[in-house]
Amino acid sequence: MKGEGKMVIMSKMKWVGLVGLVLSAFSLFVHFLLARYTEEGISDYQSSVTIFSWRPIFENSDFAKNSPLYRRLWGQVRRLESLHPDANPRGYYADPRSESSGYVFVRIQGGFHEIRNSICDVVAISRLLNATLVIPEIQSTTSSKGISSEFKSFAYLYNEDQFMAALVKDVKVVKTLPQNLKGARRKKKIPSFRVPNSASPYFYLHHVLPVLNKHAVVELVVSEGGCLQAILPPHLEEYQRLRCRVGFHALRFRQEVQELATKILHRLRAPGRPFIAFDPGMTRDALAYHGCAELFQDVHTELIQHKRAWMKKHGIVKGKLSVNSAKQRLNGSCPLMPEEVGILLRAYGYSWDTILYISGGEVFGGQRTLIPLHAMFENTVDRTSLGAAWEMSRIYGREVNIVDTKLRAPPSVVQEKKLGAWKNAGPRPHPLPPPPARPKYPHNIEGWWGWVAESDNEPESTVMELRTNAHKLLWEAIDYLICVEADVFIPGFDRDGKGRPNFASLVMGHRLYQSAASKTFRLDRKEVVKLLEENREHLYQANHTWLTSIRKHLRRSLIDGVIEASSKSKPFSFLSHPAPECSCLRYDPTKPVEASLGVMHSCPKWMDSEIKTKSKDKETEEDSDEDVSSSSGLFFKNIGGNNQSGGGELIKEESQLDDQEELEGSD
């Protein structure tokens, strides 16, 4: 009886344990589904800190948005408030003709900013040739690059349907070539042009159009980040506005990318604070092209020089292999280091608890170069700290595991004989086997030391590297949306690995078009480096005079940088400076800033009601937004929660005088 009782008890315990395991498994499954498929953004930041690694730290919970300090650091640039976007046609602009000259098929090669520039150019070219544009191809094959086949070519990055719908009154756009022309293209029987960078309209009208009329199709291969000159003749001004409609309205990222960027932006703004977006622009290609190898040390310098040698061999760089990097830096030709940008921001008045978002698919030198910036700003984040890994995986699509197919050398005959002799040595005591060789990890075989000394050429990209390059397009798309919407944007560099405007330049151009008055620091690197060198030994204990000089320069860059961009960036990329063609004025067109930019067109009347409402709201504000007597004290202040250490304190009268001088200098 006792045994039977024990058996019953044991049986019941097993059933209880089994039920508990089933319930636990069901609970885990439900939690997984909720985490995996919840589409709505996290409404309350406090609930998101358990999922994401960023936990913001603020000195003060209250943040006065009506104070003079807030207006100086985060407020709009009042002298640019009259500029507004206006990319609609301003004269007679006919719909695309029903009789097309033929099909234009385009293959675009390059990075994010090169693709975006090129797409705007090919749309303008199609309109110029009265041709039907086939959706451009930006990722020729998905299998060779190891990316998901769910998103092919153009649709991997952009929304095809939005693109076609937005341009219905500008050009005819189709998704693919007709079947007969598809076969001819596969057999390479259609005429092809490798288009030079910044080709003139004459080239297309006198070289491409006759071939298009004869064969009804042409293929354009664009590999230099733009295929139409940035500054067109005055009679083609409508084509400039067409570029704006493409770049700022028709080119929308696909839904998954747009949604993730919106979620990350929501999490950035959840603490209720404005934020700064910073793009370092420190890529290996850019550093090699401009001769900035000596900004780094040992390994990184050698990698940059190897890339420069490769560029020189392929005719991309025409200068010497060894360049004086110190001289290049003083010339303003090298990127500002993240530490230097942090010093500028702290000198301007941004406190240690400011939210700083770092963009860019690559920061050469890795996280080591960002350590000083993290030390100056506690709330330094990027997309990886604001998004979960599974959220990023969703935008990649279903990708297969890549198997390493590299051929490995077989073991040598001598080693095999030694091993066989040792195994068949008989029953006598065996000597201890030799210690195993140090394992060779993939980075030992494929790292820079595996090829820098062996060949002058760059190693061929593996499928995994090609997949990563494709992912970088999506990373930069997310960063692009966040940088455009940021309260403040500051670039570390505005040139790419070919000397042309880069990702940061596109962001600044979009901000100039969409909201010209948003704070965008367009630094004069030559002047900044000069100021930094003047106080190199005392950057962290800066004096009053030096701080005043830095703040004056940053304040001037908000206006002067826009004017300089019209002569420095626009000749290479129209999207980096779309004024005056795509801007209009709400107020007096005789203002000096607008006149220097060439913007003389008045905004349409339908904007009048919005203008009057906003202008009345601003009548009550003070004319000066430079009174920062409560905050101009110094500088790097995060000791014991106190924001008033690291360089002494400025007395109130000196602070007011400093800000008054800054105001006068900016005007």
CA distance between the termini of the chain: 101
From residue 178, how far is each of 182, 573, 582 by CA, in Å? 6, 33, 35
Residue 415 pLDDT greater than 60, yes or no:
yes
Residue 374 pLDDT greater than 50, yes or no:
yes
Predicted confidence at residue 97, as pLDDT, reads 84
Residue 577 pLDDT greater than 90, yes or no:
yes
Give the whole-angstrom CA distance, residue 504 versus residue 313.
28
Residue 141 pLDDT greater than 80, yes or no:
no
Q: Which residue has the higher pLDDT, 662 or 79?
A: 79
Q: Which residue has the higher pLDDT, 30 or 111?
A: 111
Residue 181 pLDDT greater than 70, yes or no:
yes
Q: Which residue has the higher pLDDT, 314 or 122?
A: 122
Please state the rounded mean pLDDT for residues 494-515: 93
Taking only the tens place, the pLDDT of each residue in 440-472 is 555 444 454 455 556 677 777 888 888 888 899
- Number of Cβ within a 10 Å radius of residue 143: 9
Of these ranges, 147-156, 345-354, 459-468, the one predicted with the greatest mean pLDDT is: 345-354
Give the whole-angstrom CA distance, residue 483 versus residue 508.
9
Q: Which residue has the higher pLDDT, 151 or 34?
A: 151
- Is residue 196 within 8 A of residue 171, CB to CB? The reply is no
Q: Which two tokens stand for residue 625?
A: 């937004």
Give the whole-angstrom CA distance, residue 493 versus residue 503.
9
Query: Is residue 193 within a helix (H) or strand (E), and if so which, with residue range?
Result: strand 192-194
Q: What share of the chain is helix, strand, coil (3-state, %, to 5)?
A: 50, 10, 40
- Is residue 338 within 8 A of residue 370, CB to CB? The reply is yes
Residue 351: band (very low, low, confident or very high) from pLDDT cuts 50, 70, 90: very high
Instruction: Kindly report the average pLDDT of the chain as a whole number.
Output: 80
Predicted confidence at residue 458, as pLDDT, reads 79
Q: Which of 381-385, 431-435, 507-511 is predicted least confidently?
A: 431-435
Residue 591: band (very low, low, confident or very high) from pLDDT cuts 50, 70, 90: low
Please state the rounded mean pLDDT for residues 526-551: 89
Residue 664, classified by CB atoms within 10 Å of its CB into exposed (0-12), middle (13-18) or buried (19+), is exposed
- The residues pairing with 279 across neighbouring beta strands, listed in sequence order, are 491
Predicted confidence at residue 625, as pLDDT, reads 39
Give the whole-angstrom CA distance, residue 445 versus residue 6.
63
From residue 107, how far is each of 68, 139, 239 by CA, in Å? 51, 8, 21
b (16+ CB within 10 A) / e for 632-653: bbbbbbbeeeebeebbeebeee
Predicted confidence at residue 592, as pLDDT, reads 67
Q: Which residue has the higher pLDDT, 617 or 218?
A: 218
Q: Which residue has the higher pLDDT, 402 or 334?
A: 334
Residue 429: band (very low, low, confident or very high) from pLDDT cuts 50, 70, 90: low
Residue 648: band (very low, low, confident or very high) from pLDDT cuts 50, 70, 90: very low
Q: Which residue has the higher pLDDT, 414 or 336?
A: 336
- Whole-number percent of the chain with pLDDT over 90: 45
Residue 160: band (very low, low, confident or very high) from pLDDT cuts 50, 70, 90: very high
Residue 211, classified by CB atoms within 10 Å of its CB into exposed (0-12), middle (13-18) or buried (19+), is middle
Please state the rounded mean pLDDT for residues 210-239: 92
Taking only the tens place, the pLDDT of each residue in 235-291 is 999 999 999 999 999 999 999 999 999 999 999 998 889 999 999 999 999 999 999
CA-CA-CA-CA torsion sign (262, 489, 246, 581) = positive
Residue 603 pLDDT greater than 70, yes or no:
yes
